[in-house]
């Protein structure tokens, strides 16, 4: 009798694990040898990566194409501002509370948008995000429509920022940049770790089934509605934490900026689409391409958006699985494999992969 | 005790009555065939039994429990497995992963048990060599086999087969019938909608005839095929 087993790891993923550990270690040490502006750039890349991974989980795995994720970025950021400016919390605690607030917001919003399907869901999420923006623009204690700034003392007196300043011998403004960068690095690692773990669980397999065919998934016992809710709410939490973190670093908020559909959703969708939707590697590739394009085209005004749009359309037409999809189709390499391959285990402990498995 | 019992089940889509007071029972371990012209409401009847479509009136009892308002996944977990007339694979997942979803969510198997069971089902349904190929790359016969294999992975007490032999060659059909016979011999109850009558009659113990959402006959295959109404309505033979 053959012994059957599952294998998910590949040669490439084993090698990548070591490379990833080195990259993260280098990332932690980066403030020691990189300039302040480079650290700010890396902060931007990491926070956009977190937002892109969240949107990718929503749209690429749960089939929930939301164009209203700015609701959770803005609400998380405003909740953080309220906790710091009005209630006197430490910004570090307020970042987590920003995530909690976004999670709470996702419950009533989900109640409305989950009644909609496909394109209507997308439009619905945008509409409710606008409603949240308009409501927060009425909050005079936080500057109403024009916005407000974090009190100088709030960020300067953060215990963690003071610790960084003392440890590295830098000024408080630079210490805040380094601290928020480390937090962004931590958030990016945790987010990707969480998503990768989720995709490898039974629930992750259920999500993939829902994405491919919801009706058939329900017929084999998958609770599609509950899984989608769980993804929507968890993504709201991470997006809220990310929004709060972004605005701790920016230290100034306004409804138009915090709820910007271009900054927090359109760019994010661009990153996921050009990188490769439905893969963990895609958003990493996408965010690097996006950052390079943004820097290259920064001096060309509105041409910048036009070129981004054209590239997005080109990729959708000629490489619908994104740049990472193109690469992996040719090489079979996956750094975050989630494919469960059936293998026959022989008595001499060797494994015999069946047809269709690619060990990249 | 019947494994499934329908009482006065009715369903309309607007003015179109697709099920009109349907009542019948399937005994534990029985194989029942359903025939009827296209548009008779056969697949809708399956959707009503599995909960993919909600009924307007009547009740459905499965394994002694009223499942009339239960969601499809609850009915699946209770032991109702089904195939779709047009195969509905999880195209981007592999054949093995298709079964793993069904075993993981539709049955109470642990992961280790699920792997072993899925592998055994792949061997039984002749798909083991395609285990790690994506479902979207399969041929029609392989997709039909995958439908059957995925339904089996939920460890069903009652298996609903919707035109699983349609579009297959005679040889392919014969091989599929042998597999279905073996499943039935293990005690799995079966309801099978099929137009390929020789295949159907070689497995089922009773036939039910449906026309315009109504049951117009139920009984032994020989009696049903000899019935004047059935010959006129279904076979188009003027008697």
pLDDT in tens, B220-229: 888 888 888 7
Of A45-49, A301-305, B21-25, B122-126, least confident by mean pLDDT is: A301-305
Mean pLDDT of B141-160: 92
**% of chain B at pLDDT higher than 90:** 55
Phi, psi of A277, rounded to the nearest 5 degrees: -75, 145
In this complex, do A212 and B91 lie within 8 Å of one another by their Cβ atoms?
yes
**Can you tell me the distance from the alpha carbon of A354 to that of B128, in angstroms, rounded to the nearest whole number?**
8
Asked whether residue A220 carries a pLDDT value surpassing 80, the answer given is: yes
Query: Which residues lie across from B35 on neighbouring strands?
Result: B209
Residue A79's contacts (CB-CB under 8 Å, 6 or more residues apart) are A94, A97, A98, A100, A101, A102, A240, A244
Name the 3-class secondary structure at A94.
helix
Sign of the torsion angle spanned by Cα atoms B144, B150, B151, B153: positive
pLDDT tens by residue, A223-235: 989 999 999 999 9
Name the 3-class secondary structure at B231.
helix
> What's the angle, vertex CA A52, arms to CA A46 and CA A55, rounded to 5?
150
pLDDT the model gives residue B42: 87
pLDDT the model gives residue A100: 97
**Mean residue pLDDT across chain A:** 89
DSSP-derived pairing of the beta strands B214-219 and B158-162:
unpaired
**Can you tell me the distance from the alpha carbon of B190 to that of A235, in angstroms, rounded to the nearest whole number?**
42
DSSP-derived pairing of the beta strands B206-211 and B31-35:
parallel
In this complex, do B90 and A202 lie within 8 Å of one another by their Cβ atoms?
no
Asked whether residue A359 carries a pLDDT value surpassing 50, the answer given is: no
pLDDT the model gives residue A193: 95
pLDDT tier at A360 (50, 70, 90 boundaries)? very low
The number of C-alpha atoms within 13 Å of B26 and in the hemisphere containing its C-beta is 29
A339 touches chain B (CB under 8 A): yes
pLDDT the model gives residue A215: 87
CB atoms inside a 10 Å sphere around CB A84: 27
Q: Token pair for residue B100?
A: 């793993």
**How far is the alpha carbon of B130 from chain A, nearest alpha carbon, in Å?**
6
Mean pLDDT of B9-15: 90
Nearest CA in chain A to B119: A4
CB A149 within 8 A of CB A251: yes
**Angle at which helices A267-275 and A303-318 cross, to 10°:** 40
pLDDT the model gives residue A356: 55
**DSSP string spanning A248-269?**
HHH-EE-HHHHT-HIIIIIHHH
pLDDT the model gives residue A37: 92
Asked whether residue B126 carries a pLDDT value surpassing 60, the answer given is: yes
pLDDT the model gives residue A292: 92
b/e for A116-132, b at 16 or more Cβ within 10 A?
Answer: eeeeebbebbbbbbeeb
Which carries the bigger pLDDT value, residue A46 or residue A297? A46
Q: Token pair for residue B68?
A: 């009339």
**Can you tell me the distance from the alpha carbon of A344 to that of A250, in angstroms, rounded to the nearest whole number?**
55
Asked whether residue A358 carries a pLDDT value surpassing 60, the answer given is: no
Of A17-21, A149-153, A247-251, B185-189, least confident by mean pLDDT is: A149-153
Where do the domains of chain B lie?
A: 1-79+189-239
Asked whether residue B235 carries a pLDDT value surpassing 80, the answer given is: no
A213 touches chain B (CB under 8 A): yes
The number of C-alpha atoms within 13 Å of A138 and in the hemisphere containing its C-beta is 5
The position carrying tokens 């359109």 is A266
> What's the angle, vertex CA B27, arms to CA B21 and CA B32, rounded to 5?
70
**DSSP, res B93:** S
B73 touches chain A (CB under 8 A): yes
A217 touches chain B (CB under 8 A): yes
Mean pLDDT of A144-166: 83
In this complex, do B133 and A355 lie within 8 Å of one another by their Cβ atoms?
yes
**% of chain B at pLDDT higher than 70:** 97
Distances (CA, A) of B128 to A10, A320, A344, B145: 21, 31, 11, 11
Biggest CA-to-CA distance, chain B: 58
Of A271, A280, A282, A274, give the one whose Cα is nearest residue A199: A280
pLDDT tier at A354 (50, 70, 90 boundaries)? low
B54 contact residues in A (CB cutoff 8 A): none
Mean pLDDT of B145-155: 93
Nearest CA in chain B to A221: B73
pLDDT tens by residue, B176-186: 899 899 999 99
pLDDT tens by residue, A261-287: 989 999 999 999 999 998 999 999 999
Mean pLDDT of B49-58: 92
Q: Which of B88, B134, B137 sits opposite A213 (nearest CB)?
A: B88
pLDDT tens by residue, A106-130: 999 999 898 988 899 999 999 999 9
**DSSP string spanning B46-78?**
HHHHHTSS--SEEEEEETTEE-TT--HHHHHHH
- What CATH number does the domain located at B1-79+189-239 have? 3.40.50.300
Sign of the torsion angle spanned by Cα atoms A228, A233, A234, A235: positive
pLDDT the model gives residue A44: 96
> B23 — alpha (psi -120 to 50), left (phi > 0) or beta?
beta
Surface of A (2-41) touching B: CB under 8 A: 2, 4-6
**Can you tell me the distance from the alpha carbon of B184 to that of A221, in angstroms, rounded to the nearest whole number?**
22
pLDDT tens by residue, A81-100: 999 988 888 899 999 999 99
Class for domain A3-353, per CATH? mainly alpha
Best of A5, A61, A220, A276 to substitute, by most chain B Cβ atoms within 10 angstroms, is A220
pLDDT tier at A301 (50, 70, 90 boundaries)? confident
Residue B98's contacts (CB-CB under 8 Å, 6 or more residues apart) are A209, B89, B90, B135, B146, B149, B150
Phi, psi of B36, rounded to the nearest 5 degrees: 160, 155
Of B128, B153, B217, B229, give the one whose Cα is nearest residue A4: B128
pLDDT tens by residue, B31-53: 999 998 888 888 999 999 999 99
Which ipTM score applies to this complex?
Answer: 0.87
Rg (CA), chain A: 22
**How far is the alpha carbon of B117 from chain A, nearest alpha carbon, in Å?**
9
């Amino acid at each position: 009798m053959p012994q059957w087993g599952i294998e998910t790891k590949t040669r490439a993923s084993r090698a990548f694990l070591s490379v990833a550990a080195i990259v993260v270690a280098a990332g932690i040490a980066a403030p020691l040898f990189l300039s302040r502006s480079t650290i700010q750039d890396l902060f931007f890349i990491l926070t956009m990566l977190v937002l892109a991974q969240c949107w990718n989980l929503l749209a690429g795995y749960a089939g929930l194409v939301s164009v209203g994720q700015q609701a959770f970025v803005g609400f998380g950021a405003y909740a953080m501002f309220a906790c710091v400016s009005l209630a006197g919390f430490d910004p570090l605690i307020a970042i987590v509370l920003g995530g909690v607030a976004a999670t709470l917001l996702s419950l009533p919003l989900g109640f409305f948008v989950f009644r909609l399907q496909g394109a209507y869901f997308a439009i619905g999420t945008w509409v409710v995000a606008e409603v949240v923006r308009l409501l927060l623009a009425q909050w005079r204690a936080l500057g109403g429509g024009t916005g407000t700034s974090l009190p100088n003392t709030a960020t300067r007196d953060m215990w963690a920022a003071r610790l960084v300043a003392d440890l590295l011998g830098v000024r408080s403004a630079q210490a805040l940049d380094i601290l928020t960068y480390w937090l962004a690095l931590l958030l990016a690692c945790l987010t990707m770790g969480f998503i990768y773990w989720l995709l490898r669980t039974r629930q992750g397999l259920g999500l993939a089934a829902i994405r491919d065919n919801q009706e058939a998934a329900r017929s084999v016992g998958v609770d599609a509605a509950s899984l989608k809710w769980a993804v929507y709410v968890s993504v709201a939490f991470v997006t809220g934490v990310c929004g709060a973190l972004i605005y701790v670093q920016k230290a100034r908020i306004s409804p138009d900026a915090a709820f910007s559909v271009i900054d927090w959703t359109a760019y994010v969708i661009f990153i996921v689409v050009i990188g490769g939707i439905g893969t963990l590697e895609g958003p990493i590739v996408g965010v690097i391409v996006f950052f390079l394009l943004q820097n290259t085209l920064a001096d060309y005004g509105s041409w910048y958006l036009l070129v981004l749009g054209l590239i997005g359309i080109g990729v959708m037409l000629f490489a619908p699985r994104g740049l990472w999809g193109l690469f992996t189709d040719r090489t079979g390499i996956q750094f975050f494999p989630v494919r469960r391959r059936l293998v026959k285990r022989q008595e001499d402990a060797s494994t015999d992969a069946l047809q269709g498995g690619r060990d990249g | 005790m019947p494994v499934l019992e329908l009482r006065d089940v009715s369903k309309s889509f607007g003015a179109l009555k697709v099920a009109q007071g349907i009542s019948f029972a399937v005994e534990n371990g029985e194989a029942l065939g359903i025939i009827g012209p296209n548009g008779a409401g056969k697949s809708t009847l399956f959707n009503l039994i599995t909960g993919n479509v909600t009924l307007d009136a009547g009740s459905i009892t499965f394994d002694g429990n009223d499942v009339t308002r239960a969601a499809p996944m609850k009915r699946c977990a209770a032991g109702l497995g089904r195939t779709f007339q047009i195969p509905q694979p999880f195209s981007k997942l592999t054949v093995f992963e298709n079964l793993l979803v069904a075993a993981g969510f539709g049955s109470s198997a642990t992961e280790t048990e699920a792997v072993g069971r899925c592998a055994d089902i792949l061997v039984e349904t002749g798909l083991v060599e395609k285990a790690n190929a994506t479902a979207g790359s399969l041929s029609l016969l392989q997709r039909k086999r995958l439908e059957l294999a995925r339904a089996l992975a939920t460890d069903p007490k009652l298996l609903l087969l919707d035109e699983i032999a349609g579009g297959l060659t005679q040889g392919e059909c014969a091989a599929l019938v042998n597999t279905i016979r073996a499943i039935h011999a293990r005690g799995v109850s079966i309801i099978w909608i099929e137009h390929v009558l020789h295949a159907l009659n070689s497995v089922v113990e009773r036939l039910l005839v449906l026309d315009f959402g109504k049951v117009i006959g139920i009984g032994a295959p020989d009696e049903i095929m000899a019935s004047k109404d059935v010959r006129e309505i279904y076979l188009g033979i003027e008697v």
